[in-house]
Amino acid sequence: MVVEDSAVLRSLLSHIITADPRLEVVATMPSAEEAIAAIARIKPDVISMDIRLPGMDGLEATRQIMSHYPTPIVVIADAVGDRSLAISMNALRAGALSVVEKPAGFAHQDHALIAETIRTQLYIMSQVPVIRRRTFGTRLQSAPLTDIDTLRGRPQMAGIVASTGGPPALARLLGVLPADFAVPILVVQHMGAPFMHGFATWLNGIVPQAVSLAAQGEVPLPGHVYVAPGDQHLTVAPDGSLHLGRERPVAGQRPSGSVLFQSLATVLGARAIGVLLTGMGDDGAQGLLSMRRAGAVTITEDETTAVVYGMPASAVKIGASGASLPLDRIGDTVLRAMTAGAPS
């Protein structure tokens, strides 16, 4: 189902989608109200949701759909308007799975790339099972927290990696940590490059820590969160400063969670924390394994709370996870790790 008030963009989106034999446009709706009225009858596998709509906007539409007719939603948004970006990020928090850039006209140099991104995201998200309300599990972690109990020193840096379902999970996790958290936090979130500045700005407004895009050569400070910019790997240099690079993608990703985790393992060894949250695919797993082998604390989000249990499952499968925990328990566990290490 395509929800878009512009007739021109509805037509363009329909053309883009139907070019993929895996996809079929079952309905086009000019307003959220009409989409909601028809969704129970049409039962789409995935919804392409415009964020700025007449009447009810895409954020409220996402809330209502996820509350009453849980369906995978891909937000189609402008990448430049601050208000649109804020609404888009909040729509992700409300249950939308992904945000992609609005399509450009056929003559635009980026039309083919944007169109392919839209098709890919719609197909992938159509395969994601969603539920009305995700209940956080009470199951105990799958492994003892031996990584914490045997720490050889206080952690000096933390890395967090997420993909599908990541923005709300990151907001929830960081919201548990104090504004004066004792070490810098480096974040890799898989998202289109045009949205990364807006994502960091949005996150900065809702979590206690100061959040910004990482900059080349920057010295990371405690209580600050540094987000990898779009299409650049984020690593820690031997001198502790941040490094950005455009080396080849790893596991199809740039920035790559495994690249970040590997650098933490190499530079800091046991004095780091790695957290792998919800996401499709296997990015982050190999890097997290390197961290665990180096003696670092490694945590993965449990299946009971992950929107997509792909990346965490890959890490658990290869023995990279020191503890598999429901999202609401990860923050307290990170805080425990910060106080468990022996004085440096």
122/215 same-domain check: no
20/108 same-domain check: yes
Tens-place pLDDT, residues 164-209: 889 999 999 999 999 999 999 999 999 888 889 889 999 999 999 9
Higher pLDDT, 108 or 288: 288
Residue 303 structural domain:
146-340
19/152 same-domain check: no
Rounded Cα gap, residues 273 and 46, in angstroms: 36
Q: Is the pLDDT of residue 144 over 70?
A: no
176/35 same-domain check: no
Q: How confident is the model at residue 84 (pLDDT cuts 50, 70, 90)?
A: low
76/178 same-domain check: no
On whether residue 108 sits in a domain, the answer given is yes
Whether the CB-CB separation of 186 and 180 falls below 8 Å is answered with no
- Closest of 201, 167, 192 to residue 278, by C-alpha: 167
Most confidently modeled range among 117-126, 139-148, 215-224:
215-224
pLDDT at 104: 76
Q: In the predicted model, what is the mean pLDDT of the chain?
A: 89
pTM: 0.86
pLDDT at 216: 97
Higher pLDDT, 94 or 257: 257
Most confidently modeled range among 48-62, 74-88, 121-135, 220-234:
220-234
Higher pLDDT, 128 or 283: 283
pLDDT at 119: 94
262/320 same-domain check: yes
Give me the active site residues, please: 163, 190, 283
On whether residue 276 sits in a domain, the answer given is yes
CATH label of the domain that carries residue 113? 3.40.50.2300
Of all residues in the chain, the percent with pLDDT exceeding 90 is: 70
Q: What is the mean pLDDT of residues 311-323?
A: 96
pLDDT at 39: 96
- The length of the chain, given as a count of residues: 344
CATH label of the domain that carries residue 205? 3.40.50.180
pLDDT at 220: 98
Task: State which of 126, 157, 177 marks the end of a domain.
Answer: 126
215/282 same-domain check: yes
12/160 same-domain check: no
pLDDT at 307: 87
Q: Is the pLDDT of residue 153 over 80?
A: no
On whether residue 97 sits in a domain, the answer given is yes
On whether residue 229 sits in a domain, the answer given is yes
pLDDT at 143: 42
On whether residue 270 sits in a domain, the answer given is yes
The region of weakest confidence among 56-70, 118-132, 136-150, 281-295 is 136-150
Task: State which of 62, 96, 126 marks the end of a domain.
Answer: 126
pLDDT at 98: 87
187/64 same-domain check: no
On whether residue 138 sits in a domain, the answer given is no
161/79 same-domain check: no
On whether residue 131 sits in a domain, the answer given is no
Task: State which of 94, 126, 158 marks the end of a domain.
Answer: 126
For the chain, helix, strand, coil in percent to 5 are: 40, 15, 45
Q: Is the pLDDT of residue 16 over 70?
A: yes
Higher pLDDT, 152 or 184: 184
79/166 same-domain check: no
Angstrom CA distances, 292 to 148, 233, 296, stand at 11, 21, 5
On whether residue 335 sits in a domain, the answer given is yes
Residue 339: Cβ-neighbour burial (10 angstroms; 0-12, 13-18, 19+): exposed
193/311 same-domain check: yes
**DSSP code string of 219-288:** ---TTEEEEPPTT-EEEE-TTS-EEEE-PPPBTTBSS-HHHHHHHHHHHHTTS-EEEE-SBSS-TTHHHH
Task: Name the domain count of the chain.
Answer: 2
- Amino acid identity at 177: L
